[in-house]
Structure 1
Amino acid sequence: MQRLYYLQNVIKLQQSDKLIFQIEDNREFVISFWACILGGIIPVPLTFANNPEVITKLLNVWTVVDCTKVIMPSKLTKKILKHIEELPSKSNKKYQNFEQSVLSIENINEWESNNPEAKGQVAEIKPDDLAFIQFSSGSTGDPKGVMLSHKNITTNIYDISQASQWTEKDKSLSWMPLTHDMGLIGLHLTPLVLQCNQHLMSTFLFAFYPLTWLLKVSDYKITVTSCPNFGYEHFLNFLTQEDFKDADLSSVRFILNGAEPISHRVCQNFLNKLAPYNLKPNTIMPVYGLAEGTLAITNNPLEETIKTHTLERSSLTMGAKIVSATAESTDQTILVDVGTFVGKVQLRICDNKGNVLPDETVGLVYMKGKNVTRGYFNNPKVTKELLSEDGWFNTGDLGFLKDNRLTIIGRQKEILFVNGQNFYSNDLERVANEIDGVEMGKVGVCGVENRENGCDDIIIFVQNRKSPEEFSQLALKITQLIAQRTGIIVKTVVPVKKMPITTSGKVQRFVLKENFLKGIYNDVIIGFEDYAPNIQIEVEKSSVNIGNNFEKEILNCWQSIPGNTIRIGLNDNFFEACGDSLLISKVAASLNKKYEGKVTVTDFFGYPTVTKLASIIEQRVSNPLEKLKTVPFKDEMLDPNNKNKNIWNITIKKEQLDAIFIEQYAITQIEQLILACYALVVGKMSEQQEVTIYLAKKGQNTFLPCCINLSQQNGFFQLMKNLQHFVEQNTPLNNIAIEKLGNGNQPCFMLTQQAFQFLHDRYVSEVFDCKISFSFEQDLNIQFSIAGLLRKEASLTLVNSLVSIIQKLAEHAKSTVQ
C-alpha cells in the first residue's frame, strides 16, 4: 500500500495511467505490480533491458504507450541514457524526455522507509477494465501491446485450473521471469487466485545454477512447476548424482511445457534421467498458448503421456493433408500433440483467406473465447487485420486438428526461439544491415530447428560476390554485432549468389530455409570451411598472449561451447563480453569436469576474468588444503557432520550507536564497528592473534581479505581507526563474511547479495561458515547466518559475544561522556 500511495500522491498517477516495468527483482516486481492493480494503474511489464536490442524495444514501447512513466533501478537508467546519447540526432531528439519519465526504485525504497504508515487508495475495478498490457508480440521495431482485461485473465485462470485440476492444495514454484505470461499469469496469478502456496525463484538463479529449481521442488514438495524445452537441456548439463542424490520428485503432478516448440526427444531424455528421483513418466504437460489468448489455449490431458505424430515433412504446407511417415521415409519429422481445448476456448483451422479447413489439414490456427484480447494497444490497424468482428483471432501459427486435439507445426510469422526467448527475423536483419557491405534486402535470417535441443539454430544468408577471405571478414562482423546487440550466437553465415524476393521486394525467408534443409547450399558452406576459424569475436587484442596452462584451458573451454563465436581476452569481464548467462554456466560446467570440484559458476562472479579465474584454479589445484587462511577453532566447537543453518537477527538501538560514535554515524563507521567486534570475538574464541576476514565488495564481484593482528592494536577504538583506511578504500561493502573454520577445505567467500541469490541452501552451507549482513535506518539490524562446521552452541557464543562488545562500548561511551 505504500507503493500505491507513492504512485498516486507523489508521482500523481491516476486510474488507467500506464507504468512500464523494468524490474528484474521478483520482490520489487510483485510489490509494484499489485500496487498498480489495486489502484487501477495499468502495468506494462517488459523484459529487462540488458542489451542494446532490448533497450531499443523499451524506447519504442515507451513511445507507443504515450511516453508514460518507467520504473527501473538507477544503474539501468544510466545505461539507457548512454544508449540514447549514442543514437543519431533524429532518434536522440525523439527520446529526449525519457529521463524525466523514470522512477528510481532506490528513491522509492528510501521514500517508503521514511513513510511506513502511508496507504494508497484502492480503485473500483470492473471486469472489462484493462488489467495490464503484455508486449510479448511484435518485433523490436514494431512492438505490439496485447491488452488484457480482468475478465480475460480470470476466465483463463479458471479454465486452466479446471483442465489441470489445480486446487488450493497444490504448491507451485517458478523460475520463469514475471515479464513472461507463463511466469506472471501461469505461476503467479493462477496460484494466487486459487489460494495455493507459490514460490518465485530468480531466473538468473536458474541460469547459473539450474539444479536449484528441482532441489527446491524436492524440498518444498512442489506439485506444479513449468519449464520450456531449453530449460530441460540446461538442467541436465548440470545434473550430477552427488548433488542430486537426496532429491525426491514424487510430489510433482505436472510440469507445464510451452513458450516454444516442444521437442519430444528433449522431454523424454529429461524424464528418463529424472526417473531415479521419482519423477513420473507422465509429468510433462505440453501446452499451447499465446499472449493474445491471455495464456493457455490447449493442454495435454492430466496424467497422459506425451503424444506425437511422425509425419512426412513435405505434407506440412498450407492447405495440405498431413501424411504419416513410413518406415522407408527419408524426410520425416516428429511433432508433439499439444492437447485438447482449455475451458470454452474455440479453435478452427483456416487458409490464408480465412476459409475453414477440414481436420488433418495444415492451416492457420484461429481462436475465440472470453480469454481472447480485445486487440493491440494504440494499434487499430493490426487489430483489425487479425481480429474479426465476430471475435475470431488469427494466431499466425500453423497447425492442424485431429480428434479435437491441436498440433502446432510452426509460426507463419517470423519468430525465432532461442533459449526460451522470442526473436524476430527482421530485427536481426536490421542489425546486420548496419554492417558496411551488407545491402538492404540482401540479407535473410531464418531459424532451423535443432533436433537435439528443440531450439532454433540461427542461420544468416547474405548475398555475396566477394572472395572467401573477404566474406569471412564480413561474416565475422555480422556475428559479432548480433552477439553484442542481442546475445544470440549465430550458427552459420551462408553466402548466396542471389537473394530470393517477392514481387514487392521482400526477402523470401521460407525459400532460403527450404533450400538450406534440402542441402542446396552445402557446397558453398563447405567451400568456406577453411576460413571459418577466422570468424570469431575478439573482445581484447592481447588474448594471444596466454600466460599459463590454466588460462589456456579456460579459453579452450570457452571456445569449445557449440555455437559460441565470442572470443575473449585474458582481462575481459566474462559478463560484459557476452552478457549470456547460459553460455557462462556451460563454460563453468565444462571447467568443473576438467578440474573436478575446483570450479563453480559463482567463481565467475568472484574472478570475472580469465587471468583471475586461472589464478584461483591454479591455487586450488596446486595447494588444495591451503586455499585461504582458516580459523583454527577448538575441536569441541566444531562438528564435521553439521548440516544445520542458524540465523540470528540482532537489533542495536540508535541511542547505543549514538553513544559509541558521538556524531551521526555513517555506513563506513558501521562496517568498522562490526569488523572490529567480529575480529575480537573470533580471535578470542580461536585463541589466535591474527585474524583474516573476507569481505564482499558491493557492486563488484570481488572479495577482499582484511588481515588483522590483534596483538598490535592499542585498544578497541585504535583497532577501528586502523580499519578505517581499509573500509574507506573499499566501500561500500555491506556484506561481511569469514573464511572456513577449522580445517575445512572450502574457502568462505561470502558473495554479494546479487550473487548470493543464485545459490541454494545446500550449496551455501558447503561454501561458507558465517555470513554477517546489516542494514540500518535509525537502529542497526545485523543478521548472522551461520552454517557448516561450527556447532550451534559455538555459533550462539559468537553472536552473543559480538553484541555484548557493542553494548559494553555503548555503556563505556556514556560513562565517559558523563
Structure 2
Amino acid sequence: MINGYRAGSLTQSGTLVDAIRQHSEIRPHEFAYGLVSSAGDIETSLTYRDLMARSNAIAASLQRICKPGDRAILLFPGGPDFITSFLGCLIASVIAVPGYPVREPGSSGRPARNFERLCSIIENARPVVALANQPVVERRAELSVASDAFSGLHWIAVERIATAEVPVAPIVAPCDTAFLQYTSGSTAAPKGVTISHANLLSLFKDMDASCLHDQSSVMVTWIPVYHDMGLIYGTLLPLYFGFPVYSLLPAAVLQQPVRWVQAISRFRGTHSAAPNFAFELCVQRVSQASRMELDLSSWQVCINGAETVRPQTLQRFADAFASCGARHDVIRPGYGLAECTLKVTSVAARQPARRVRLDAAACERGRVVQLHPCSVDTTGRSFQSCGWTHIGADIRIVDPTTGEECDDDALGEIWVRSPSVAQGYWNQPESTVATMQARLVTGEGPFLRTGDLGFVLDHELYIAGRVKDLIIIRGRNLYPQDIESAAEAAHSAVRLGRCCAFAIDLGDREGLVLVAEVERTERHGFDADEAFGKLMEAIAREHEVQLHDVVFVRTGTFPLTSSGKVQRQAAREEYRAGSLQVVARMRAATTSEQIVVPDPFQERLISLRRWLTDFVASRLHIPATQVSSAESFLSLGLDSLALLEMTGTLEERLARVLPATIALEHPDIDRLSRYLAEHTS
C-alpha cells in the first residue's frame, strides 16, 4: 500500500497526469521530487501540490502558443524545471521532446558538444516552442546564428511563469503521442520514437511487476532525463505510483561515483538503475574508507541495462559492497530499447540472475550448445540472462535474413510484439514499417525488429550480439557511420570510404576501435602523431567517447565488399586476428594516478601540473614528455568521462567541490593547474 492505495492500482484508462493529479489531491504536501546537490543535500524539492501547480502554469503558457499535437523541445540538464516542463506538455497535449541541455554562458563561449545532434533533433521534430531556463533563453539570438534549426522557435523561460494560471484540460486518448524519445546514435538521421500514453502505462505495469514497488519505495536516480531509462524509470514511474524521487545530475555522479551510493545510503533508497559501466566505476573508485560509512541495506533493486550486462561486474559489485549491507542480488539485469518504450525483459526482484556458458565454435555457427558447469573448456562464451517479460510480450528468435522463426537451439534476431512497442518513428514511415511492423514469413505480426541477436533458454532471454553495427559504450548507442564521418573530416590522411569503427570486448567494458586506410597522397611524409591527435580530438568533441585503439593500414588493404562498401565485420575479425597490414597505431591506456597537493602556491602549481601531465600520459599510454601542457585536453584525446574522472579525483585530493565543467572552462594543463593553485589554500 502507498498511503492508502496499492502501487499499480490506478486504472489503466488514466494517464500519468491523472495519477499525479490524484496524488496532489489526496496528499498535497507530501514530498514528490528532490534534486540532490553535489554535497549530498536537497537543493530543490517539490511536493505533489507544487508539482501540479508548476506543471499547470507551464501548460497554460504553452496553450497560448501551441495547439494540441505541436512539439516542444526541452533544453534542461534535469531537475525540477525539466519535470514540470515535461508534465506541462502532457497537460497541454503538446508533444514533449527531451533534448540535450545547452551549455550556459560563463562555462564556455560555444554551445555543448551535442549541439549538432540537438540541431538534427529539432529539424526532425520541428518544435514550435523551446522550454529552458532564463540564461539559455537569453542566448536564443546566438543559437539562431549558429544554426537555422533554432530560428522561428518561441522561447519560454519556465522560472518566470506565474503559478496562478490554470490550463484547459484537453481530452487525451490512450493512443495519442505523449512524447518523442530520440534514439541515442545517429546525428545525421535521428529517429524520434513516438511513445503513446498507452505505451507508457504498459511499461509502468511491466516495471512494477518485476521491481516490486510498495509504500516504502524510494527512487534514487542520476541517469540523464534525455535517456529513456533516466526519464521513464528513474523519474516518471515513481511519480506515477506516488513514491519519492531523489535525483542527482549525471555529471556529479560521473565526477564522483560515490555520490550515487551515498544518496542511496542517506535517503534510504530502495530502487535505482544504471548502465553496466557505472557499477564498474563504483567498484574502482569508491574507496574502502567511503564504503565503511555506507549503509546500503535499504537497497532492493537496481536495474542494470542500456548496455551489455557483464556477469563479472555483478560479482565484483556484490563482493565490493557486501560489507555495506548491499544485497548480493540487488543488481537486476535487463534488456530493452526505446522502440519498446524502455524494457523488453528483466530478471525479477528476488529471482536468480542466471548465466550460461556456450561452446564458442557453435556460437559462431549460430547454434546454442551449453557447456557443462564443470567443463574445463576455456574458450566457452559466458552469457548473462536478462530474464523474461512480465506483461506477456510475444518474444521470438527469428532468422534476420529469411524471416523464419529459429529452432530452439539457434541464435537469431530478437523480435517483439507487446503493448509497450512504440507507435513508430516520427516523420519516418519507411523506417517505421521496416522496423516496427515486421512480419514472419508466415505473415504473423506485426513485430518490432530489435536488431539484436539473442537466444532463449528455460524461458529466459540472453543477448548474444547485434545484427546491426550499433556500438554501445557506457550506455550510449553510437552509430559507426557517424564515428567514421567525423574521422574522415578530422584529417586528410584518412581515406574517404576506407574507414570503419567498431567495438571490442575489453572484459569489463567495450572499447572503440577505428581502422583507417592511409590516403594515397599522404603515404609519403605521413605524420602519425598529428593524425592520432586530430582523430582523438574530433571523436572526443563530437561523440564524447575516447578511442581505445586507432589503426592506420596500408593503402589498398582495407576490407571492402565487391561493390566497394566497408566490411566492418571483416575489419573487426582481421583486427582480432592481428592480420591487418598496420602502418601505425596508437592505443589508449585505462589507468590513472593519484595526486598529493602540497603548499605554498608554487609547490601547488608544480605538483598540479605534474599530476595533470601524468594523468593525461597514463590515459593515452604515452611518455609524459610527449604531453603538451598548452594543448587542450580534447586535442590530446581525452573524452568527457576521462575529464570527469580527472575532476573527481582532484575533488578528493583538494577536499572541495569542483564544477563538472571546470576542465572545459580551463581546457589545458597550464590553465587548469594555475586556476587550481590560485584557488586552493
- Structure 1 residues 528, 130: closer, same or farther in 2, change over 3 A? closer
Could you tell me how far apart the structure 1 residues matched to 2:320 and 2:314 are? 10
CA–CA distance in structure 1, aligned partners of residues 568 and 291 of structure 2: 44
Q: Does 1:412 align with 2:467?
A: yes
Instruction: Say which of 283, 291, 294 aligns to 1:236.
Output: 283
Q: CA deviation at 1:318?
A: 6.7
| Alignment-mate amino acid for residue 28 of structure 1 | D
Deviations 1:679-705 (A, max 9, x none): xxxxxxxxxxxxxxxxxxxxxxxxxxx
364 and 282 in structure 1: CA distance in 2 versus 1, 3 angstrom threshold: same
Q: How does 1:35-46 map to 2 (within 5 A)?
A: 35-46=88-99
Q: Letter of the 1:520 partner, please give it.
A: S
Residues 221 and 251, structure 1, Cα contact 8 Å, conserved in 2:
yes
Name the residue aligned to 1:34. Answer: 87
Is 1:555 the counterpart of 2:610? The answer is: no
Is this contact kept in 2: 1:345–1:369, CA < 8 A? Answer: yes
Find the partner of 1:214 among 249, 252, 261.
261
Q: Please list the CA deviations of residues 619-650 of structure 1 after superposition, one character each: whole Å capped at 9, or x if unmatched.
A: 89xxxxxx75xxxxxxxxxxxxxxxxxxxxxx
Alpha-carbon deviation of 1:249? Answer: 0.7
Equivalent residue letter for 1:298: T
Q: CA deviation at 1:361?
A: 1.0
Query: What is the alpha-carbon distance in structure 2 between the residues aligned to residue 23 and residue 60 of structure 1?
Result: 17
Cα drift, residue 399 of structure 1 = 0.6
Q: Is the 8 A contact 1:208 1:601 kept in 2?
A: no
| Equivalent residue, structure 1, for 2:148 | 96
Cα shift at 1:460: 0.6
CA contact (8 A) 2:605 2:674 kept: no
| Structure 1 residue runs without a partner (length 5+) | 87-94, 534-545, 621-626, 629-818
Contact kept, 8 Å, 2:413 with 2:453, in 1: the verdict is: yes
Partner Cα distance (1:292, 1:34) in 2: 21
State which of 159, 166, 172 in structure 2 corresponds to 1:109: 159
Q: What's the CA shift for 1:585?
A: 3.6
Post-superposition offset of 1:236: 2.9
Identity %: 23
2:394 aligned partner: 346
Partners of 2:149 and 2:187 in 1: CA distance: 20
Distance 1:573-1:366 versus aligned 2 partners, 3 A rule? same
Aligned partners of 1:80 and 1:513: how far apart in 2? 44
Partner of 2:642: 583
User: Structure 1 residue 121: deviation in Å?
Assistant: 1.7
CA deviations on 1:273-308 (whole Å, 9 max, x unpaired) are 100001111111000111111111111132234321
Distance 1:96 1:532, change over 3 A: closer
**Alignment counterpart, residue 191 of structure 1, candidates 233, 238, 254:** 238
Q: Tell me the CA shift for residue 68 of structure 1.
A: 3.5
Task: Quote the residue 2:411 is aligned against.
Answer: 362
Give the aligned partner of residue 392 of structure 1.
Answer: 447
Q: Is the 8 A contact 2:185 2:476 kept in 1?
A: no
Match of 1:461 in 2: 515
Indicate the residue corresponding to 1:446 in structure 2: 502
- C-alpha separation between the residues in 2 aligned to 1:79 and 1:484? 21
Alignment of 1:509-528 (within 5 A): 509-521=568-580, 524=582, 528=585
d(CA) in 1 for partners of 2:136 and 2:631?
21
Please say which structure displays the higher CA radius of gyration.
1
Structure 2 counterpart of 1:490, from 534, 547, 552: 547
2:382 alignment counterpart = 334
CA contact (8 A) 2:270 2:299 kept: yes
Describe the shift of the 1:84–1:414 C-alpha distance in structure 2 as closer, same or farther (beyond 3 A): farther
Kindly indicate which of the two structures has a greater share of residues assigned to helix.
1
Shift of 1:444: 0.5
Higher RCO (C-alpha under 8 Å, 6+ residues apart): 2
User: Are 2:184 and 2:477, in contact at CA under 8 Å, matched by a contact in 1?
Assistant: no
Q: Which amino acid is 1:359 matched to?
A: D
Summarize the alignment of residues 148-547 of structure 1 with structure 2, pairs less than 5 Å apart.
148-317=195-364, 319-322=366-369, 324=371, 327=375, 329=377, 331-351=379-399, 352-386=401-435, 387-388=437-438, 390-434=445-489, 435-452=491-508, 454=509, 456-464=510-518, 466=523, 469-497=526-554, 498-521=557-580, 524=582, 528=585
**Counterpart position of 1:58:** 118
Q: Contact 2:191/2:426 (CA < 8 Å) preserved in 1?
A: yes
- SS of alignment partner, residue 175 of structure 2: coil
Q: Is the 8 A contact 1:77 1:102 kept in 2?
A: no
Letter in 2 for 1:517: R
Counterpart of 2:179 in structure 1 is 132
**2:272–2:303 Cα contact (<8 Å) kept:** yes
Q: In 1, are the aligned partners of 2:101 and 2:112 still within 8 Å (CA)?
A: no
TM-score in terms of structure 1 length = 0.66
Q: 1:590 to 1:149 in 2, by over 3 A?
A: closer
Greater Cα shift, 228-237 or 46-55: 46-55
Residue aligning to 1:13: 66
- Residues 426 and 564 from structure 1, CA distance in 2 versus in 1: closer, same or farther, beyond 3 angstroms? farther
The letter of the residue matching 2:98 is P
Task: Label 1:241 to 1:493 Cα distance change in 2 as closer, same or farther (>3 A).
Answer: closer
Spell out the pairing of 1:744-763 with structure 2 (5 A cutoff): none
1-structure distance, mates of 2:635, 2:185: 28
User: Does the Cα contact within 8 Å between 1:43 and 1:133 map onto a contact in 2?
Assistant: yes
Q: Which moved more, 1:480-489 or 1:390-399?
A: 480-489
For 1:68 and 1:569, the matched residues in 2 are separated by 46
Indicate conservation of the 8 Å contact 1:137/1:291, yes or no: no
* Shift of residue 8, structure 1, vs aligned partner: 1.2
State the Cα RMSD in Å.
3.3
Partner in structure 2 of residue 623 of structure 1: none
How far the C-alpha of 1:350 sits from its partner, in A, is 0.4
State whether residues 255 and 283 of structure 1, in contact with CA within 8 Å, keep that contact through their aligned partners in structure 2: yes
Q: CA–CA distance in 2 between the matches of 1:573 and 1:366?
A: 45
Deviations 1:368-403 (A, max 9, x none): 011111211111101111223632111000111111
Change (3 A) 1:432 1:339: same
Q: Does 1:25 align with 2:25?
A: no
CA drift of 1:605 comes to 4.2
Question: TM-score, with normalisation over the residues of structure 2?
Answer: 0.79
1:188 and 1:198 in contact (8 A); partners too:
yes
Letter of the structure 1 residue corresponding to residue 460 of structure 2? R
Distance 2:383 2:620 in 1: 25
Q: CA deviation at 1:159?
A: 1.8
Give the C-alpha shift of residue 27 in structure 1: 1.2
Q: How many residues align?
A: 588
Q: Which amino acid aligns with 2:170?
A: A
- SS of 1:303's partner is coil
Letter in 2 for 1:58: L
Would the aligned equivalents of 1:164 and 1:302 in 2 still touch at CA under 8 Å? yes
Shift of 1:128: 1.1
> Which residue does the alignment assign to 1:541?
none
Between 283-292 and 490-499, the greater mean CA deviation after superposition: 490-499
Report the Cα offset of residue 612 of structure 1: 6.3
Q: Secondary structure at the match of 1:3?
A: helix
Q: Runs of 5+ in structure 2 lacking a partner?
A: 1-55, 104-110, 440-444, 590-603
Going from structure 1 to structure 2, the CA distance change for 1:583 and 1:404 (only over 3 Å counts) comes to same
Distance 1:150 1:598, change over 3 A: closer
Tell me the amino acid that sits aligned with residue 214 of structure 1. V
SS of 2:541's equivalent in the other structure is: helix
Question: 8 Å contact 1:209–1:601 — kept in the other structure?
Answer: no
Greater mean alpha carbon deviation, residues 578-587 or residues 479-488: 578-587
Following TM superposition, by how much is the alpha carbon of 1:183 offset from its aligned partner in structure 2, in angstroms?
Answer: 1.0
Shift in Å, 1:409:
1.2
